């Protein structure tokens, strides 16, 4: 009887973890996903260096991290999507609709940036999926 | 028994802390630039017969966008949205000026743009000029323009479709990407008109 209960313990722990991941509200430190364009980006690119400052695809989640903040620390203006950021300037772009957005971005060697804005994970399964993916991606960093 | 002076000092500290806490700034739905820099100058002709410079509209919130009168998709939606936002603002709309600069200087003259813009809102002012003047304006705002030529020689133009929000002091404050609703514009214009 006791041996059977011991077998059940990992299963119960897994169920408890899944219950927590599915039902506990998700808290993130900030809704802003920050990207910095460092000093010298333009010069490095002119010298032939295919420097990638920003990922070509950025994923945001409504209600959690749904604000993109790009800061231009370079000494030349950088075009991001709808606007030019002067040296020292930042651009804070909030998203309120889940969709895939394509932007022109001179900080990329491809000149393009995709932003996927996903809906807020509001079901237990969506929360589990979100947490597992975040954990997996942070583990790789 | 708690001394009265202690209670008063507690109340005073609380009041001071409250006063020192900055009021939460209402957030714009548009993308916000920081620090705010002066909006790049325009050196164009306006559809009302006067020179088009942003100084003319100092004291008003300027919504600046780029497009062309033969545009069949993006421009009518943008202009309808901006006209609807002005209507929704009521009397406050007098503090908002829409400026629409052509990206098609070969076909858009002042009369053509005036007629096009007037079909949405008679207060809208268009910007026209030579190819060099228009290219300079596009460059200063980071506008990308691409021309697609059809076999019959006619062409259409793909162009950046964001709306630049210039505050009453002439600072380029925010950029609203294409596709936002009338209510989003009304929301942001109310904030900009208050500030």
Q: In whole numbers, what is the pLDDT of chain A averaged over residues?
A: 85
| Neighbour tally for B18: CB within 10 Å | 8
Instruction: Name which of B31, B63, B160, B180 to mutate to probe chain A: the one with the most chain A Cβ atoms within 10 A of its Cβ.
Output: B31
B181 touches chain A (CB under 8 A): no
CA distance B108 to chain A (A): 23
- On chain A, the residues whose CB falls within 8 A of the CB of B33 are 83, 85, 89-91
pTM to 2 decimal places: 0.83
Residue A122 has pLDDT above 60, yes or no: yes
Query: How many structural domains is chain B composed of?
Result: 1
Q: Are B31 and B177 in contact (CB under 8 A)?
A: yes
Q: Which domain holds residue B189?
A: 4-20+29-194
Q: Are B32 and A86 in contact (CB < 8 Å)?
A: no
**Given strand A57-61, what is the order of strands in its sheet?**
A57-61, A112-118, A99-104
Strands A78-80 and A83-85: antiparallel
Pairwise CA distance, residues A83 & B163, whole Å: 10
Confidence at residue B20, expressed as pLDDT on a 0 to 100 scale: 47
Confidence at residue B21, expressed as pLDDT on a 0 to 100 scale: 46
CATH code, B93: 3.40.30.10
Using CB atoms and an 8 Å cut-off, which of residues 111-140 of chain B contact chain A?
140
Which of A38-47, A82-91, A102-111, B61-70 is predicted with the least confidence, judged by mean pLDDT? A102-111
Nearest-CB residue to B35 (from A77, A89, A92): A89
Q: Are B177 and A86 in contact (CB < 8 Å)?
A: no
Q: Are A93 and B160 in contact (CB < 8 Å)?
A: no
Q: Which of B38, B55, B40, B48 is nearest to B127 (CA)?
A: B48
Confidence at residue B35, expressed as pLDDT on a 0 to 100 scale: 96
Q: What is the ipTM of this complex?
A: 0.80
Q: Are B60 and B193 in contact (CB under 8 A)?
A: no
Q: Please list the pLDDT of chain B residue by residue as tens digits (195 residues).
A: 455 555 565 455 545 444 444 456 679 999 999 999 999 999 999 999 999 999 999 999 999 999 999 998 899 999 999 999 999 999 999 999 999 999 999 999 999 999 999 999 999 999 999 999 999 999 999 898 999 999 998 999 999 899 999 999 999 999 999 999 999 999 999 999 998
- On chain B, the residues whose CB falls within 8 A of the CB of A81 are 31, 162, 177
């Amino acid at each position: 009887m006791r041996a059977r209960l011991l077998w059940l313990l990992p299963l119960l722990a897994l169920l408890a973890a899944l219950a927590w991941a599915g039902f506990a509200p998700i808290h993130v430190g900030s809704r802003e996903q920050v990207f910095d364009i460092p000093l010298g980006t333009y010069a490095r690119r002119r010298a032939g260096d295919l420097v990638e400052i920003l990922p070509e695809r950025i994923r945001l989640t409504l209600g959690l991290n749904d604000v993109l903040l790009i800061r231009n620390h370079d000494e030349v203006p950088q075009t991001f999507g709808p606007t030019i950021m002067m040296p020292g300037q930042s651009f804070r772009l909030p998203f309120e609709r889940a969709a895939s957005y394509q932007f022109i971005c001179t900080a990329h060697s491809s000149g393009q940036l995709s932003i996927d804005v996903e809906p807020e994970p509001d079901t237990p399964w969506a929360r589990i999926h979100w947490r597992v993916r975040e954990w997996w991606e942070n583990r790789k960093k | 028994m708690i001394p009265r002076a202690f209670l008063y000092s507690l109340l005073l500290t609380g009041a001071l802390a409250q006063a020192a806490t900055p009021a939460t700034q209402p957030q714009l739905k548009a993308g916000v630039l920081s620090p705010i820099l002066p909006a790049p100058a325009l050196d164009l002709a306006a559809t009302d017969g006067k020179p088009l410079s942003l100084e003319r509209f100092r004291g008003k919130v300027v919504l600046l966008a780029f497009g062309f009168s033969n545009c069949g998709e993006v421009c009518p939606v943008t202009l309808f949205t901006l006209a609807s936002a002005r209507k929704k603002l009521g009397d406050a709309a007098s503090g908002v000026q829409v400026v629409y600069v052509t990206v098609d200087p070969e076909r858009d003259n002042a009369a053509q743009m005036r007629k096009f813009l007037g079909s949405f809102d008679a207060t809208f002012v268009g910007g026209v000029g030579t190819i060099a003047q228009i290219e300079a304006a596009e460059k200063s705002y980071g506008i990308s323009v691409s021309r697609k030529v059809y076999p019959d020689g006619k062409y259409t133009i793909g162009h950046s479709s964001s709306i630049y929000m210039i505050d009453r002091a002439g600072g380029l404050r925010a950029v609203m990407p294409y596709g936002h609703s009338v209510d989003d514009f009304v929301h942001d214009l109310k904030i900009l008109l208050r500030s």
